[in-house]
A and B are shown apart, each in its own frame.
Chain A
Amino acid sequence: MNATDNAFIIICSALVMFMTPGLALFYGGLVRSKNVLSTIMHSFVLLGLASIVWAVVGYTLSFGSDIGGLIGGFDFAFLSGVGMTTEGSPADNLPHLTFMAFQCMFAVITPALISGAFAERMKFSGFLLFSTLWIVAVYAPMCHWVWGGGWMGEMGALDFAGGAVVHMSSAAAALACAVLLGKRKGYGKTAFIPHNLPMTVLGAGILWFGWFGFNAGSALAADGNAANAFVTTHMATAAALLSWLAAEWMHEGKPTTLGAASGAVAGLVAITPAAGFVNPMNAILIGLGAGVICYGGIMLKNKFGYDDSLDVVGIHGVGGTWGALATGIFATEGAKGLLYGNPGQLWIQFVSVVATWAFCFIMTLIIFKVVDAVVGLRASEEDEVRGLDVSLHSETGYQI
């Protein structure tokens, strides 16, 4: 065990934990005031639910002994054999518990990301069951494929901190949910104006802060690789903030705070798979691309007519895909991409993108159908019109 690495990763785990309440604020500000609590709850309750699911079966399905490259075995069910020493730890410099805790925070925020797609119309009971099944049947396999010794990692796909595992997977699920759940009542006729953009910008700032733990921590050591991931994360995010702002300034005539916040998140998403593999200047290029490409990505829903309420597909899906492919282009630290004489890497990245989208989209469709049949997923029309805060939780966000 390396004490320095252990201290660093424990702190990074706490940073990643902080991203989930940050996401709750980011999403909470974007909905109408009658749904602020239900939207915040979708993220916050997962700090409880996903953590327990992770400890019981999620961790072992992700990091237990490999079965056919597809899933982990039950060796670590109920955290048995996950202790204070490095015994059994996938990272031999860290206590097994530290590694498990760091990964736990990723399992918490990933299903929370999906909730942006079904905000303002999802039944809470259905949401809890859906999220539980999704962690078990989608997140855990994806995590195993990429980081737990599964086929995608073995194939050589590069995903430093979760472009596929976290962002593309949640975006594919978001797309499936938005299509199956249908549009919010009044979509296209009434205005869905964000009720508290300062809350959203604060949330984006917290995400940015927590993301340093997410990406630099994914080096799994307090070393130069972590330092590089920290800098590439910051630079790509800075560049994406500016390029989204520039894109909308030219396209719509005004730069907006929501654009700045969205651009920053797009940059964070795009650099996630690449953070440890690229240098800071290429990170800036990835970020510049992310802001413009994701700004285009949010237009997709208008073109195809699905109601992805808070643009999970446009930002996490498009940004995650761009990041995965960009990793295959710009990788130069510890792996080589297209620009550094290894065009094969881009093909491997492409395969991982297609497989991730296909697997997560189809599995989510199945889970959605099952949960919808058992407990139902769409809130009643009356509940939706009154607002989910009062109808599902018997409380309101603001008393005036």
Chain B
Amino acid sequence: MKKVEIITRTFKLDDIKVALTDLGIQGMTVTEVKGFGRQGGHKEVYRGAEYQVDFVPKIKIEIIIDDAQVREVVEAARAAAFTGHVGDGKIFVYPVDEAVRIRTSETGDEAI
């Protein structure tokens, strides 16, 4: 099993969700997060006073999938999140040791 973590622009959430569910992904966890990468922050102006806002709102999508799906899931997510401008975000893939479905006690691939 692998965990795929996608951190990207908030307005891309729906596109990514559709792309992943089209591949048969049955669940995901979404978090509103703030951070910065090469894009840096942005400037806000209140009554003429400029503030540099370092942390930009992003979304983080986490899904757990079977090893065999990793390549197509990552590519689908990447394509859906792509704009070509700095600030598109990152995708990370981690190994997952175990999964347990709480209701049925199923474990491993059966649980995801």
- Residues of A that sit less than 8 Å from B by CB: 191-194, 248, 251-252, 254, 256, 258-259, 262, 295, 298-299, 302, 311, 314
Contact = CB atoms under 8 A, between A and B. Distances in A.
B44 interface: yes
B11 to A, nearest CB: 20
B51 A191 contact: yes
B52 interface: yes
A254 B45 contact: yes
B48 A191 contact: no
- Sorted from nearest, which 5 A-B pairs have the closest CB atoms? A191-B51, A298-B47, A252-B45, A299-B48, A298-B48
Interface string B12-52: 00000000000000000000000000000000111111011
B47 A258 contact: yes
Contacts of A311: 47
A96 B68 CA distance: 87
A248 B53 contact: no
Contacts of B45: 252, 254, 256
Contacts, number: 30
A259 B49 CA distance: 12
B15 to A, nearest CB: 28
A221 B70 CA distance: 79
Nearest to B53: A191
Given A191-B51, A191-B53, A192-B51, 6 more contacts: A193-B44, A252-B45, A254-B45, A258-B46, A298-B47, A302-B49
- Which residue, of B48, B52, B53, has the highest number of chain A Cβ atoms within 10 A? B48
Nearest to A252: B45
- Which residue, of B44, B45, B47, B52, has the highest number of chain A Cβ atoms within 10 A? B47
B61 to A, nearest CB: 22
Nearest to B44: A193
Interface residues of B, number: 9
5 contacts: A191-B44, A258-B47, A295-B48, A298-B47, A302-B49
Contacts of B49: 192, 302
Contacts of A194: 46
Nearest to A294: B47
Contacts of A192: 49, 51
B52 A262 contact: no
Contacts of B46: 193-194, 256, 258
Contacts of A191: 44, 51-53
Nearest to B49: A302
Contacts of A262: 47
B48 to A, nearest CB: 6
Interface in B48-62: 48-49, 51-53
A108 to B, nearest CB: 26
A121 to B, nearest CB: 18
B24 to A, nearest CB: 35
A302 B52 CA distance: 17
A191 B51 CA distance: 6
A195 to B, nearest CB: 11
Contacts of B53: 191, 193
A248 B53 CA distance: 20
Nearest to B51: A191
Contacts of B48: 248, 251-252, 295, 298-299, 302
A298 B49 CA distance: 9
Nearest to B52: A191
B55 to A, nearest CB: 11
A188 B46 CA distance: 14
B53 to A, nearest CB: 7
A302 B45 CA distance: 14
Contacts of A302: 48-49
B88 to A, nearest CB: 25
B51 A259 contact: no
Contacts of B52: 191
Contacts of A254: 45
Nearest to A248: B48
A24 B47 CA distance: 19
A193 B47 contact: no
B84 to A, nearest CB: 25
A256 B51 CA distance: 15
A295 B45 CA distance: 13
A194 B44 CA distance: 11
A314 B49 CA distance: 13
B70 to A, nearest CB: 35
Nearest to B50: A252
Nearest to B47: A298
Contacts of A295: 48
A329 B30 CA distance: 62
